[in-house]
Amino acid sequence: MNMNRLILLANFVLIKVIALAQPVLMHDDNVIYQPQPITIDTYNKVFKVVHIGDSHIQADWFSGKLRSLLQEEYGNAGIGILFPYRQIKTNSPPTFSSVASAPFIASKITKCKTACDVGIVGYNAQIPAGSMVVFNIKKDTQPQFVSVIFQSDNEHAIGFNHDNQDENYTTQTSTTYNITSYKKPLSNSFHLNTKSNITLNGLISSNGNPGVIYYTIGANGATFNNYINSNLFFQQLKSLQPDLIIISMGTNESVSDISADSLSAQLQNFHSKILEAGADKIIYTTPADNYLRKSVTTRKKVKGKWRTRRTVAYINNPKVEIIRQTMINFCNQQQVMCWDLYRAMGGDRSMRQWVQTGYAAKDHIHFSKGGYEIQGMLLFDALQKYVINK
């Protein structure tokens, strides 16, 4: 166990025992529904995990902690997905950086109210011919084997480090997109250059070693329905050939007007598309407890004059329990694993305690970096009871 994990472990033990006002973390078996064995065979093999979600996953603190724990235990096969998030003016995971001379025009899966064409990352980037994007992987210093998923009429539209020799690349083409892979390993800092206009869907990076590779896919504000509306997303998901898919959604539904019946229908649609990706195991995680922001107006007489004061209050959001129970019922019906984050963090009204201890943001919806990392540790510990390591 490394020093960082020991520090985080000490932190969440303190949260549990220091005072009643602090979060109550659940470690009993009731936080996993429909438990199933998960076989992780990393002897000369790569175990592929895909984690799909919303802003809680795009930040890659929850998923990033789970990635580091899995790779520490079963081997590091690489970082997974890269994308120039900064160049489309959104937040990037801390595991890599990207630099380009100009911003790119973006398409977002959150804009998919009807059928759309957004790829594996939940974002597309329109990159003109003659562009260069520099990627620097921070969490893996080993040489990288890199593939690019993109859309273009020219299947030879991309290159790396100004290498334009076609014999150095292999390209798989479908009716809707291309996957170009560079045959040679690159350093952990490299640049992508474009010979034609492309729509970039994402890059896949691995270090060629056996172990766990962990693809983080998150889009700020995303819902189940947003993902459902992009067939391209599910086509490209299948190309990753995942062994385990983790789905952390429901928070944005909990602050919407969606009904339990509508969510059930969406879950059925979403799940049928996920099954086509061919993963051996699928895990849904319930949304965390959260609060709604409410403006409060009070009037008070001061020195004979009435004064109006507006303040902000946060009130418990009862919709979370509806979303949570709908997801658990669905997973029980489908006999699919479900990790109950809502219960694991302490249940109803526990978010206020997480905010008070600095493990959640003042918006009472998002968490701090430390709060997300605790979630990653909790899920890792819950899953370890069911992992079979060959």
- CATH code at 183? 2.60.120.1360
Answer yes or no: pTM beyond 0.85: yes
What is the average pLDDT value for the chain, to the nearest integer?
91
* Domain stops at, among 185, 209, 233: 209
User: In terms of residue numbers, what domain contains 180?
Assistant: 80-209
Kindly state the percentage of the chain with pLDDT values over 70: 92
The tens digit of pLDDT for each residue in 353-366 reads 999 999 999 999 99
How far are the Cα atoms of 48, 122, 124 from residue 281, in angstroms, in the given order?
Answer: 11, 22, 28
Judge contact between 135 and 203, C-beta under 8 A: yes
The tens digit of pLDDT for each residue in 259-284 reads 999 999 999 999 999 999 999 999 99
> 125 and 88, same structural domain?
yes
Structure tokens at 111: 């804009």
The tens digit of pLDDT for each residue in 116-169 reads 999 999 999 999 999 999 999 998 889 999 999 999 999 999 999 988 788 899
Task: Tell me how long the chain is.
Answer: 390
> 310 and 370, same structural domain?
yes
Judge contact between 196 and 170, C-beta under 8 A: no
Domain tally for the chain?
2
- Between helices 62-74 and 369-384, what is the axis angle to 10°? 40
Closest CA to 326 of 389, 271, 379, 261: 261
- CATH code at 69? 3.40.50.1110
**Which residue has 């959001």 as its token pair?**
317
Confidence of residue 26 (pLDDT cuts 50, 70, 90): low
**pLDDT at residue 378 is higher than 90:** yes
* Domain stops at, among 209, 239, 259: 209
> 253 and 126, same structural domain?
no
> 168 and 221, same structural domain?
no
Burial class (CB in 10 A: 0-12, 13-18, 19+), 309: exposed
Give the pLDDT mean for 193-199: 96
> 251 and 201, same structural domain?
no
Q: Give Cβ neighbours of residue 156 (< 8 Å, ≥ 6 apart).
A: 166, 169, 171, 180, 195
* Lowest mean pLDDT across 9-23, 39-53, 376-390: 9-23
> H or E stretch including 324?
helix 319-334
**pLDDT at residue 85 is higher than 60:** yes
